[in-house]
Amino acid sequence: MNSSGEYFLKTYLDERKNYINEALEHYLPQADTYPSVLSRAVRYSVFAGGKRLRPILCIAAAEAVGGTKEKVCAVACALEMIHTYSLIHDDLPAMDDDEYRRGILTNHKVFGEGIAILAGDALLTEAFSLMSEFNSKEKESAVLRLGVIHEIAKAAGIYGMVGGQTVDLDSEGREVDFETLQYIHTHKTEAMITASLRAGAITAEGSKLQISEITEYGKKIGLAFQIIDDILDLEGNSKTLGKKTGCDGARKKITYPSHAGLEFSRTKAHELVKSARADLASFDNRADPLRMIASYIVERVS
Ligand code: GRG
């Protein structure tokens, strides 16, 4: 990406991130809302930082088909709540047992395991409460929204992220084949990324063709994102990443680079991104943020 592209993308990501943070502030309970320990635990992880990639993809997909960020705001925030719940639970001693996330101590290290589990549960539940709330003006889009809620539920549950996490957990320390690795990647990471994009495009009433092209783009950047995540665990800087590196190797986890080698993995991620950008060929310049986010995914350092 050239420097004017970089500036455009940085401005876009910063603006959308601030918009999401303000909206999350509005939707989440204040720190003193009873029971305060739960409110504080929820806020601790949500406002610990994070790229806000999933809500930004939701907004960018909506904008690419001619919609607005306001129209998808609640769904976008719900996606970040689901993502944050998954990070809190992923860090628990029963799962990855991590000490740091987003540059600060993990939720259970600060609030204890019980409250961390409940903070994750609360975020997941509130996400669905938020998405299913309508004001009188939005009633006619209720059927559309119901479809979006259903898709997000599928992407987050057994047939998506939780399924992927289960196979990941179950495979630790064991020899697994490439097919299993692909199952883990597509379900644990890619499903929610694709669902975020589809949620934006569907809510903003994109055409069938636009939604299907955005879906193809999502599958490719979702896999590229996970491959880069595996590479960053090997080569990244723990300070920039805000968490420990080298964890996959220590836990004997099969990753894309451990299976296919570093160079092949890097090339694969770049090819996926190139192909994802090509999927957007019929879109006008309103899809530029999506095009640039694809490139950013392989260039990112955190
Ligand atoms: C516990 C049900 C359950 C699922 C956990 C998200 C996840 C599944 C695990 C997190 C561990 C991990 C490294 C997953 C693969 C890639 C990924 C989702 C990284 C974290 O997402 P980012 O980079 O994080 O978007 P930020 O902090 O920027 O939001």
The CA 83 to ligand 1 mean position distance, Å, reads 7
Q: What pLDDT score does 172 carry?
A: 86
Separation between Cα atoms, residue 157 and residue 173, nearest integer Å? 24
Separation between Cα atoms, residue 281 and residue 287, nearest integer Å? 9
Ligand 1 atom with the smallest distance to the CA of 51 is: 28
Q: What pLDDT score does 239 carry?
A: 72
Residue-wise pLDDT for 5-60, tens only, equals 889 999 999 999 999 999 999 999 999 999 999 999 999 999 999 999 999 999 99
Q: Are 203 and 67 in contact (CB under 8 A)?
A: yes
The CA 189 to ligand 1 mean position distance, Å, reads 7
Residue-wise pLDDT for 65-114, tens only, equals 999 999 999 999 999 999 999 999 999 999 999 999 999 999 999 999 99
Q: Are 218 and 280 in contact (CB under 8 A)?
A: no
Q: Which residue segments constitute the domains of the chain, with CATH numbers given?
A: 3-299 (1.10.600.10)
Q: What pLDDT score does 137 carry?
A: 75
Is 50 touching ligand 1 by the criterion CB < 6 Å?
yes
Please state, as a whole number, how many other Cβ atoms lie within 10 Å of the Cβ of residue 205: 15
Is 43 touching ligand 1 by the criterion CB < 6 Å?
no
Q: What pLDDT score does 120 carry?
A: 98
Helix (H) or strand (E) holding 174: none
Separation between Cα atoms, residue 173 and residue 86, nearest integer Å? 22
Ligand 1 pocket test, candidate residues 13, 46, 77, 86, most atoms within 8 A of CB: 86
Mean pLDDT of the chain: 93
Burial class (CB in 10 A: 0-12, 13-18, 19+), 179: exposed
Q: What pLDDT score does 211 carry?
A: 98
Ligand 1 atom with the smallest distance to the CA of 226 is: 16
Q: What is the pTM of this model?
A: 0.94
Is 54 touching ligand 1 by the criterion CB < 6 Å?
no
Residue-wise pLDDT for 236-292, tens only, equals 777 777 777 777 766 777 788 988 899 999 999 999 999 999 999 999 999 999 999
Which DSSP string do the residues of 235-298 spell out, in sequence order? Answer: HS-HHHHTS-SSHHHHTT---HHHHH-HHHHHHHHHHHHHHHHHTTTTS-GGGHHHHHHHHHHH
Q: What pLDDT score does 248 carry?
A: 72
Closest Cα partner for 229 from 200, 190, 194, 198?
Answer: 190
Q: What pLDDT score does 50 carry?
A: 93
Ligand 1 pocket test, candidate residues 21, 106, 188, 251, most atoms within 8 A of CB: 188
Separation between Cα atoms, residue 113 and residue 90, nearest integer Å? 12
The CA 249 to ligand 1 mean position distance, Å, reads 17
Is 78 touching ligand 1 by the criterion CB < 6 Å?
no
The CA 185 to ligand 1 mean position distance, Å, reads 11
Residue-wise pLDDT for 200-240, tens only, equals 999 999 999 999 999 999 999 999 999 999 999 888 777 77
